[in-house]
Structure 1
Amino acid sequence: MKRILSILFLLPGLISCALGQDPKRTAYADLITKETSFQHLSKLASTEFQGRGTGQIGGKMAADYIAEHFKSYGLKAPVAGSFFQPLALEKTSFQVSKFELAGKTFSNGKDFYIQGAGKGAVNASEIIFIGYGISDAKFNELEQQDITGKVVLVLNEGEPQSADGNYILTGTKEASNYVKNRNYRLQQLMAKKPALILAASTQVPLLLTRMSDRITAGRYGLASKGATPAVANVTTPVANISPAMADLILAKGKTSIQKFTAAVTKTGKPQSGTIKTKLSTEFGEVKEALHDPNVLGLLEGTDLKDEVVVISGHYDHDGINSKGEIFFGADDNGSGTTAVLELARSFAEAKKAGKGPRRSILFIAFAAEEKGLLGSQYYAENPIFPLANTVTCLNVDMIGRIDNKHLTGNHNYIHVIGSDKLSSELYEINRQANADYTHMELDYMYDDPKDNMRIYYRSDQYNFAKHGIPVTFYFSGLHPHYHTTEDTVDKINFEMMVKREKLVFHVAWEVANRDKKLVVDSNKQ
């Protein structure tokens, strides 16, 4: 009896869902399957494609793969007869051709890493050790001697403590800005205009291990705009070194980091000094032009074909490093690229059967998202179709996993981000499409303007939103394998991935076929 009553209670909801469904639309959504999604993703996130790195062979292979499938679906090549919109990219890397210290040779990216700009060389026979590099009435190391044009060694973490465990600068257990703001110490030092800063920290070996050669890979920008500096207002090169390298220098002065900190704690006074040892280095910025393309395929609409719905996802990831480690990027963003391909095929089949959309749909696989949303920035600044005629951008970036928030709870969810930022109608279309067809929890946590992750601003849809175009960003959330070599196909939840793809399909179908363009009636942060 209890089961019968439960079924009776469920029936109104089930009938309501069935009445809300359009069988024609459902038939084409159901062309998106676990099997076809797996075929694409297992290729895109394969060893063969080498992590689809910007400027790497794997990225080119991915672009070719997408274009070939767009062509096979019968999509039009909208970039003057091509599926490719090449980006004018510029990679700027800071390379070190020589670094000899205390009679030993060290390698940038392996033993240390340098941040800087321009080109230069430094040859010194002495290094000034300035301890914590503090300029304060209670503990002033920077005024002990003139460091202009000199090589200085600084401990880029911590600050002086007294024997009772209190910090000397604050007189309490509360640290000062030298600890709270990790750039404060270096900013103070740069104002003194040394030739080179050797900044020692226990974090350096950890970063070198975790980041590998990505830490020295350089920065990327659109060539027309110039590459954006990785560190603002850098006037002095900073060589980030390990405590072991610092102790190699300090040993020449018959001390060490441990002896230095013990002496500070005992005396409460600076322990700066000049150390006689040789340093010789040559370094400089190297610029390289890259031309990774956005990949575009157009499905032309009918009576409203001049209006365009964009369905997008970036195809690039972190590629392969010098050790041969592949960052497969199955979820980020092989899953979103797969969604673009699956939706393109489904809508193309609908058009072949005479059920094509009223508005045109532009499918875009963006390049260089991982380098700063550069592919979508380039498209927004050089649109193939007028932005004034672009109705919405539905962007898919990471839809294949279960995130940390939902791992022990409901797996039947999707983060829907930004749908109400500009258009209340787009928000409602997402909600209704899910209610009628996909029945997931729509998680809006990242719409909170106080979200410290600022996820809304971190994928390609934002370059459309900046121009007042309503957007939605579909996202399954962060997980422990994000941007690691462990983001692989075997961890993808294909059942949920397909559900999420179908939600995007139903939203796109509705927006592409409604009588009026989406209203733009808000501008939320």
Structure 2
Amino acid sequence: MRLPVSIAVLAAGALLSACATSGGGAPATPYTPTFSTERLSEDARILSDDSFEGRGIATPAEQKVVDYLSAQYAAAGFQPGGPNGQWTQDVTLNRFTASNIRAGFTAGGETIPLTQGEQIVISTRLPGDHVHLMNKPLVFVGYGIDAPERQWDDFKDVDVRGKVIVVLVNDADFEQPELNTFGGRAMTYYGRWTYKYEEAARQGAAGVIIVHETAPASYGWATVNNSWSGPQFDIVRANAAAERAPMEAWLQRHVAVDLFRRAGLDFEALKVAARSRDFRPVELTGVTFNGMFDVASTQVVTHNVLARLPGTTHPDETVLYTAHWDHIGVGSPDADGDAIFNGAVDNATGTAGLLELARAFGAGPRPERSIVFISFTAEESGLLGSEYYASNPVYPLATTVGGFNIDSMNVYGRVNRYGITGYGQSDLDERIGAVVESQGRTLQPDANPASGGYFRSDHFPLAKRGVPMTYGGSTGDFRDEPIAERQATRSEYGRSRYHQANDEWSPNWDLRGQVEDLQVLYTVGSALANSREWPQWKDGSEFGPARAPTADQRR
């Protein structure tokens, strides 16, 4: 299907006209931006080309990405937005490469070997030369959660220091949402793999093994293998040993079931028991873990790319647009021999979306507040670029009005709904909903809250520090034929292409739905940039308290 060169965004009342005001406050001529499907496609094509080698961080390909993005932002009329008038913010990371991995379980005098990538995936984010875990006791700690505010403690008074803990992915409500201990099927941060690893380190465990199950993880084993079998990264920490366990691993479910059986335990029965506050850790008697691997630890510098359009009257107040530029890079060849993980949808599309939004703002009236675009690095390594920025903001978080994160945009055509991941957190929901409805679409709360999407993209490090951030995009039913073909293609991506080498650009993409989403983000952001309004967290949001102490700076 060939697409038109561009699709003009139609005005729909004051919301869609993105009216600017002159310096004296008088209404100016409404500005209606035009978003080009051809430009969006071309930017995504270039960024996901084999020559960009999967956009791996701290590789020669990174400079190509930085050069391309900074040139496009400059052409759109933006200034360098990084420290000291640069286009980039340095992000210093530790890189860990595990090699010579030998692992296995011992049960009843029998050794059960484990092969990296097949039964287990082992990694580390702790500086050192090697990890040597021999005859380590295994303790099943349910979901591995310690949440005092929910009266939940999977560890109780059991000392797991120096042991290897085995944990379930997600949280108890995924299997039994009526418990409502963790908000039903809407995953909390406690369900994320990042939390599991962090809590294991706080408990002093020598290692942590997450049992992989596709439904509660929301992705298959291939994604686990591709994401954790290569080099791992972390921000530089003052006391890494207190925040990182020596071994971080995932284990195939069927291996865990057999392991529990050898210890005289029923995996499924213990899964049920783990849903209760009364659950206590269970040692896998007679079973131990052995793991040895070398670690190459190096320090690397990668880069966030920042572009800024200064505001006319309130330049110290900032509206953010964010998306990550990185992907997995080069990995193991797939069945077709392809080793380059191009990341066309994830997230060349979101990066292209940022560039097109920058062109829209650059071509229109200058807003009253500043607009800042951040192309984050190291999202695929655990949101590290955004975590670094949130810890070292170039623009004060207290006067950051709010922001819009873009990750993996719609390439399948126009749909009838716009979904907000983490719906119910802030009044950005209502601001977005009004624009979506003016397009003839409806707003849909988080379509899959069990996947924990709100904790899996670059808005989260900013949100947890109090900045109102939203993350959403196209969802629902297709509006144009061939509907069945579009549905099949969309489903096939999640099933077979996400974090795979075949996430490739296609000339057959239909980006008209992507344009509608960009229209929403432009309109809401432009309205905020030309107002004195500050988005608010809703009552009950865990992020509101982080914003409250700086309220006097937003008067």
- How high is the TM-score relative to the length of structure 2? 0.61
How far off its partner does 1:435 sit?
3.1
- Partners of 1:220 and 1:83 in 2: CA distance: 23
Output one character per residue of 1:245-301: Cα deviation in whole Å (capped at 9) or x when no partner.
xxxxxxxxxxxx9xxxxxxxxxxxxxx99xxxxxx9963222121211000000001
Map of 1:223 onto structure 2: 236
For residue 485 of structure 1, the aligned residue among 493, 497, 501 is: 501
| Residue-by-residue CA offset, 1:219-249 (whole Å, 9 max, x unaligned) | 321013566999x756x899979999xxxxx
Q: Choose from 381, 392, 397 the match for 1:387.
A: 397
Contact 2:418 2:436 survives alignment (8 Å) = no
Q: Is the 8 A contact 1:419 1:430 kept in 2?
A: no
Partner of 2:58, secondary structure, is coil
1:151 corresponding residue in structure 2: none
Report the AA paired with residue 312 of structure 1. T
Q: 1:432 aligns with which of 434, 437, 453?
A: 434
Supply the AA of the counterpart residue of 1:288: T
2: CA distance between counterparts of 1:237 and 1:445? 30
8 Å Cα contact 1:115/1:237 also seen in 2 = yes
Unaligned runs of 5+ in 1: 1-14, 135-155, 157-182, 184-194, 245-256, 258-271, 274-279
Give CA-to-partner distance per residue, 1:154-188, whole Å, 9 cap, x none.
Answer: xx9xxxxxxxxxxxxxxxxxxxxxxxxxx9xxxxx
Cα displacement string for residues 324-381 of structure 1 (whole angstroms, at most 9, x for unaligned residues): 512222221111111111111111111xxxx110000001101011111111111111
Residue 87 of structure 2 corresponds to 83
State the percentage of identical aligned residues. Answer: 25
Contact conserved, 1:51 with 1:59, CA < 8 A, in 2? no
Distance 2:33 2:213 in 1: 53
**Alpha carbons 1:221, 1:228 under 8 Å: kept:** no
Q: Is the 8 A contact 1:53 1:319 kept in 2?
A: yes
- Cα–Cα, structure 1 residues 341 and 392, in superposed 2: closer, same or farther, change >3 Å? same
Aligned residues: 414
Distance in 2 of aligned mates of 1:329 and 1:521: 33
Shift of 1:54: 2.2
Structure 1 residue 75 displacement after superposition = 1.4
TM-score, structure 1 normalization:
0.64
Distance 1:489 1:482 in 2: 13
| Residue 508 (1) aligns with residue 525 (2) | yes
1:395-414 equivalences under 5 Å are: 395-401=405-411, 411-414=415-418
1:38-187 to 2 correspondences below 5 Å: 38-78=41-81, 79-96=83-100, 114=122, 119=130
Change (3 A) 1:335 1:414: farther
- Tell me the SS of whatever aligns to 1:385: coil
Determine the structure 1 residue equivalent to 2:468: 470
| SS in structure 1 at match of 2:318 | strand
Distance 1:430 1:217, change over 3 A: same
Structure 2: which 5+ runs fail to align?
A: 1-9, 21-28, 105-109, 141-166, 168-192, 194-205, 215-219, 256-260, 262-284, 476-490, 542-555
Q: 1:196 to 1:496 in 2, by over 3 A?
A: closer
CA distance in 2, matches of 1:461, 1:238: 26
Q: Secondary structure at the match of 1:284?
A: strand
- Tell me the distance in 2 between the aligned counterparts of 1:328 and 1:222: 24
Q: 1:210 Cα deviation (Å)?
A: 6.5
| 1:357-372 correspondence runs (5 A) | 357-372=367-382
| Cα distance in 2, alignment partners of residues 398 and 196 from structure 1 | 33
C-alpha separation in 2, matches of 1:364 and 1:64: 14
- Name the one with the larger strand percent: 2
8 Å Cα contact 1:429/1:510 also seen in 2 = no
Structure 1 pair 349–233 and aligned structure 2 pair: CA distance change class (3 A) = closer
Structure 1 residue 498 corresponds to structure 2 residue 508: no
Evaluate the alpha carbon distance shift between residue 108 and residue 302 of structure 1 in structure 2; reply closer, same or farther with a 3 A threshold: same
Q: Over the residues paired in the alignment, what is the CA RMSD in angstroms?
A: 5.1
Name the CA distance, whole Å, in 1 between partners of 2:367 and 2:520: 17
Match of 2:419 among 406, 415, 418: 415
Q: Which of 1 and 2 has greater Rg?
A: 1
- Paired with 1:133 and 1:71, the residues of 2 have a C-alpha distance of 55
Query: 1:349 matched to which residue of 2?
Result: 363
Structure 2 CA distance for partners of 1:399 and 1:440, relative to 1, 3 Å: farther
Do structure 1's residue 331 and structure 2's residue 345 form an aligned pair? yes
Distance 2:383 2:213 in 1: 32
Other-structure match for 1:284: 294
**CA distance in 2 between partners of 1:348 and 1:469 (Å):** 24
Is the contact made by 1:45 and 1:329 (CA closer than 8 Å) also made in structure 2? Answer: yes
For residue 35 of structure 1, the aligned residue among 6, 21, 38 is: 38
Partner of 2:170: none
Contact 1:418 1:471 in 2 (8 A): no
How far residue 88 of structure 1 moved from its aligned partner, in angstroms, is: 0.9
Q: Which residue of 1 aligns with 2:553?
A: none
